[in-house]
Structure 1
Amino acid sequence: MPPAHPLHAVTHPDPYSYYATLARDQPLYRDATLGMWVAAHPETITAVMRHPAARVRPADEPVPHGLCPGPAGELFGRFVRMNDGAAHARLKTLLVAFIREREQENEHEDPHESAAPPPLPPATYDAAGVDRYLYAAPVHAQSAFLGLPPALHADCAADIGSFLHALPANAGADRTAAGHAAAARLLTRLKAHLAGPHATPALRQLIEEAAQDGIAPDLVTANLAGLLFQSCEAGAGLLGNALIMAGRRRVSQPLTSEAALALIDEVVRLDPPLHNTRRFMAESAEIAGQRIAAGQTVLLVLAAAARIEPQADWTFGAQRHACPGAALARRHAAGALLHLLHAGVDPAALAARFRYRPLPNARVPQFDFQEDSNP
């Protein structure tokens, strides 16, 4: 059976024929079941993204209500990814330049050496250990790339995980409280490092350039945390789906770095980690012949657009909020995949039994679960 609607498609075993049909036959339509507009064709998605009335957060909820008040809400509200303002646009320009410079410094490193993965899963390399690794590895790798010292990597990964778990509207009081505590710890830790004697020259230069542009250090610190946050769930999906593809193809050691990168590129094209994103209309607008009212939401089905333009990196977004670290994410995922294979993880066994986490946008496999449990 095909998916009932685009949000069901994220966890469907094989939604890609459905996505191709959606992009071809329903490029922009109102979905009464979801209560949202759906854009599925590259041209309509691009038109929505470029429209000045289309925002990354609802006008009346710039920060999820469940995170307010508290440190987690304050952190979320400072992310450039979650803002459309001029100040955040200036900071994004600096962050993109910083990332580009760091990539040039690291472009000749072997993915297996540069990804800085966390410690190995348990000695049995069981499904629970792999699940933990999926979420920890991207943050460890991003922490190393940003120039944070190894002593901070595990703490950053743990705090990003707690912050991520606090975001859903149904997170509950305990997870929300843990998210607030994690956000406060993370910001304190990063701020202390940036102000201390061991901050790298690149990080110091970023702070100085931001100050020259009138951007406070606290905003830079929050967005370094934001780069860790952005790497987490997407990185988990990319690595997890790579393990499944490797298992179905009976890939094992020895695997070269070039082959690992090639497999990651195939995952990006054929089974990407991010399927959807949203835009919220601050004003009414006419797009592709449809009138979208102020206050309405548009679901942008990036995975459907990728059926039409498979080489366009739709899973990493586009336009003003395109991810600047697409190449970096591939390298980190390839390094983590090599790390797991070298450690003895059997991708065929993982591919034989998994399900997808019930996420609205990200396609992240879960290998440790009870058959009769709800996702």
Structure 2
Amino acid sequence: MGTSSPTAAHDRAAALDAADPLRTYVDRFVAGSGVQAYLDGNSLGRPTRVTAERMRAFVDDQWGDRLIRGWDEGWFEVPLTLGDRVGALTLGAAAGQTVVADSTTVLLYKLIRAALALRPGRTDIVVDRGNFPTDRYLAEGIAAETGATLRWIDPAPDSGVTVDLLEPVLGDRTALVLVSHVAYRSGHLLDAAAITDAAHGHGALVLLDVCHSAGALPVRLDAWGVDLAVGCTYKYLNGGPGSPAFAYVAARHLDAITQPIQGWMGAAEAFEMGQGYVAAQGVRRLLSGTPPIVAMQPMVDMLDLIDEAGVDSIREKSAALTAFAIDLVDDRLARYGVTLATPRDPDRRGGHITIDHPESRRITARLWERGIIPDFRRPSGIRLGLSPLSTSFAEVAVGIDAIETEMVG
């Protein structure tokens, strides 16, 4: 049985919010009409309050006033300059290695194919069955296209990929290890440095999916020696639905890397419109078609907030939010048969937790009707995504209250 009342939980939440050095950031996001607790910031982040004005100004001043001249006046470089900022603030990446373009799916396709080309004669791609569906589906499709072989690993549902799981499938035919830094369901935080060392020990490359970590916790791609990375910007970077993704290529690979979708914006002389494709120097060669400049605007405001707050402080709050949520789950929900599908060790946990219960689908639907917004994850999970700058401890308490009410009902 639980030991604390809803009142005690809310009192504790109030004390945590009062002591939170990042508490004022919550009010810098659009709250949403009728939303009592938004617990899905790791699927779609709230917009910042200043983003609406940024978008109006872009339409009036850049697009509306400058028109096509905007390409000569800065737009052409935005995928690179914004990429450098994403790299510096959220990826631990030096300049010239990150580009903003396309979707996560398209960039993953480009980099998986690029990795195979960088390792000629090697045919194995290692991927885990707990990875996000897009990552798995792309690996399957590329294997069918190229004749590559998939080497599957099977992490526990409440865990993720470890070196112990990885080592048995690595060998002299391994071209690429494709893994997520934070597991989309369990929230398991990968030891990226150790995984990279293990892969490199067999001559393989590492492609790290950072969709569920960039902006929520420190990422050190350069320091870890990661070869390639991809992430989205609509989760913890608050770029909005369908905002473009980003790709990272370690500087040591830039001269040799090729990608399969050759478009004019990735050419050495894009506006020459010449015969025959010659790739641009540097990370620009990952571009294909015209980049979505309008869709890049909202994330600028979130990057400003991350820069101001500091990613280490953001991580500290993230760990506190998930720890508070786990305490309430143990105290209030375990009695109803709820189990935790997320590592308890904060050093092995990302910015969300998942709880399992047979009635999770029904409960999630009811919660949405009440303005409590978590996420359902098959087969029986309720995922609580606690975006540090826009989520209060009070929201977590409200959310757990509502889940308990639905359990009783």
User: With structure 1 as the length reference, what TM-score do the two structures score?
Assistant: 0.29
The structure with more helix, counted as a fraction of residues = 1
User: With structure 2 as the length reference, what TM-score do the two structures score?
Assistant: 0.28
Larger Rg: 2
The structure with more strand, counted as a fraction of residues = 2
